[in-house]
Structure 1
């Protein structure tokens, strides 16, 4: 980019002299000059030529002197680097100019070799400032893009290292959460657009804040569905523990949200959550033009199918054994060995429980009934029947009782 320099001086011969002395640089496209005869004309020139890089200004001029011009330039949002020119004996004005923000000064009569050197030094300073601003803008753009996916602190760290650092496509062990809302299609068809937009924005915003509180990564938001990653892009040795804790808080927040909407007469569906852990291909899949940090692989698909399994089981959260085994002090109850849609092999699954529920007597009774069912003991059916009789609001116990009544045996079950 060719630097544009504005000379401000009321001497009539200065323009011709400058153009003569710098003719080679002008001819070679190394520099461009424009001229003004006082501060007022200089401000008008800058307004017409906002890309002026440098101002070289005399002090003593009619209408507006150089010091007043300097003050105006420093007040502007786009401050111009300024070189002040004055007589050698006028050091008081030169000191004032430097205190007001002048970058450098020259004395009269002007030594053109000194002028050229000073201009070159100032232009290098301007280019350095531009580079700093460019990097700052890149960091801000990167932070804006990353903030859609990562917690604020993690977004800052990634943006500080550059948008590509730490988010290249790679295989990683992750825990992934899938969430979905029951009956959302019906809500879309029945709700007014402005109501639906308000509901969904509040819901997604609240769920995202919960994820960020656990330092999770939001990989995708598709309508009402949210995909979350742990142990990506940064290392989180406790990623399974974080995922389970996050799922509990998501479940709690979603239930409170539903209750608030019900009080307003809006039937907002329950949130179902599935969690699985394993290897996945993770990174920015958006190419050079877009930023799309997400994950692919069997681990991701399995988490989505575990989320869907809740519909059959009557549960709100369903996690795989790979999550339950890796999470510290996991508290939950076994669901069974699920043959998920599109799979041949069974996956052992669990329903994580909050501490109060896990420690309740009903959980111990469920575990006893489940152990009988796993062992093929005929006493499993009356055990589940007794449990449902005491806790009719336990859908998972009711699910197993219904299976047993229909002739099913064991804990292996096919889910479509």
Structure 2
């Protein structure tokens, strides 16, 4: 199946370079490249060729820059993913790009081996989204992030009642933070930071999915995951232990200064509100969970140290026959009248 890629850059030589570097894939009809020299012409091209899968865009361009283009993409094509390819690889530009929905960030001069891997990863993600949308249409199931643009894509009347439904569920929330990554990132090249963070996230996501959990959101260098249905707390703890062990085993040979990632984890099980929450004005809604259980899980992660998996006393009572745990003590929690007794999961 051919993948269609839109390259947005005002450098005249880039089109020739792209065609030369990917001539074999173009000849084999694996890739079909389209080109635009700024954000305005990119939006026109997307209207002309709606089958485009991903956008690779520079930042600094005339008429409309790449960061502005990111804010327009969802209105044109709700499933499209963008990769920023720019010489402006400082943390401010990376954060702005990610906050505006960029899937990844590559710095110039372009390393074409890295570019190829990033393209394949992004195309695979887009393919997965399209398959999920197809499953939603066929089975009337919603199990992924959805916003107003996707509503329009699927047919608003058909799905509006499902998307906007709010329900109270019993589930387990897990917050996983990569310890010390922020300070590490301040002193490293942008492409190194993004590549490492994506690698760590990828390892954690695999384990969460293996334990039938789903990713609610990525928050900086942290993950919020949710586990529902039977034995949701046990599966969440299993995932947390596996993630801690996996991250501890990651090699330091590829990281500057032999940086060794560690995680701190907070887990809370209980009642929470589930629904599509956000701003209709911004056309940005997250299918997410909120409530005291979620807030408490975040607070537990805040107090967790490296390699610690922190749970409440109520969670400990539920899993103590299956997992080895140890009492940590009492902590003060915001908006709680009494101190909270917490435990850490050992094995």
Return the TM-score normalized by structure 2.
Answer: 0.51
Determine which of 196, 199, 202 is the counterpart of 1:202.
199
Q: Which position in structure 1 is the counterpart of 2:212? A: 215
Q: Match of 1:282?
A: 274
Tell me the residue number matched to 2:241: 248
CA contact (8 A) 1:139 1:162 kept: no
Q: Displacement of 1:166 after TM fit?
A: 8.1
Where do residues 82-161 of structure 1 align in structure 2 (5 Å cutoff)?
A: 138-139=133-134, 146=143
Q: 1:170 maps to what in 2?
A: 167
Q: Retained in 2: the 8 A contact 1:187–1:268?
A: no
Q: Secondary structure at the match of 1:336?
A: strand
Tell me how far apart the structure 1 counterparts of residues 201 and 173 of structure 2 sit (CA, whole Å): 17
1:326 aligns with 2:321: no
**Hey, what's the Cα distance between the residues in 1 that align with 2:240 and 2:317?**
16
Q: Please state if 1:179 is matched with 2:176.
A: yes
Aligned counterparts of 1:140 and 1:290: Cα–Cα separation in 2: 22
From 327, 336, 340, give the equivalent of 1:343.
336
User: When you count helix as a share of all residues, which structure comes out higher?
Assistant: 1
Contact 1:310 1:318 in 2 (8 A): yes
Q: Do the aligned partners of 2:326 and 2:343 also contact (CA within 8 Å) in 1?
A: yes
Q: Which has the larger Rg?
A: 1
Number of aligned residues: 202
Q: RCO higher in 1 or 2 (8 Å CA, sep ≥ 6)?
A: 2
Contact 1:335–1:351 under 8 Å retained in 2? yes
CA distance in 1, matches of 2:131, 2:243: 35
Kept after mapping to 2: 8 A contact 1:169/1:285: no
Cα distance in 1 for partners of 2:241, 2:249 equals 12
After TM superposition, give the deviation of residue 201 of structure 1 in Å: 0.8
Q: CA RMSD in A?
A: 3.3
Closer/same/farther in 2, CA of residues 165 and 335 from structure 1, 3 Å limit: same
Shift of 1:349: 1.3
Partner of 1:308: 302
Q: Which residue of 2 aligns with 1:22?
A: none
**Structure 1 alignment gaps of length 5 or more:** 1-134, 150-160, 355-416
Instruction: Pick closer, same or farther for the CA change 1:187–1:264 going to 2, 3 Å.
Output: closer
**Structure 1 residue 163: Cα displacement:** 8.8
Gaps of 5+ in 2: 1-129, 147-157
Q: Distance in 2 between matches of 1:212 and 1:163?
A: 27
Q: 1:13-32 residue pairs with structure 2 within 5 A?
A: none
Aligned equivalents of 2:132 and 2:233: distance in 1? 36
